[in-house]
Amino acid sequence: MVRVQLGASLATAVGDRTEFDVDAGNVLQLLASLRKHYPELEAILERGVAVAIDGQIYNNSWLQPIPPNAEVFLMPKMSAG
């Protein structure tokens, strides 16, 4: 189980809830679990999110392991421009 924190713009989709406990061993499992248990996040997840694990940001790193007790933070994916 990992504790996931949502940024403010993501938290509004789930009634301003900012933290979730999710059973996941990698980023793909994390996103799948969030989709299953919190369908109100689906639209945001489809647009894309970045996942920070212990301060390191990962984009499209679906198989990136999430160690137990890691600090995990989801935020909207940033676009370069």
Beta bridge partners of 75: 50
Question: Residue 3 carries which side chain, given as an amino acid letter?
Answer: R
Q: What is the pLDDT of residue 79?
A: 63
Domains detected in the chain: 2-76 (3.10.20.30)
Separation CA 68–CA 16 (nearest Å): 25
Give the distance, in angstroms, between the CA of residue 57 and the centroid of all CA atoms in the same chain: 11
What tens-digit pLDDT sequence spans the chain (81 residues)? 889 999 888 888 888 989 989 989 999 999 999 999 999 999 889 988 999 999 999 988 999 999 988 999 999 876 655
What pTM was estimated for this model as a whole? 0.86
Separation CA 72–CA 70 (nearest Å): 6
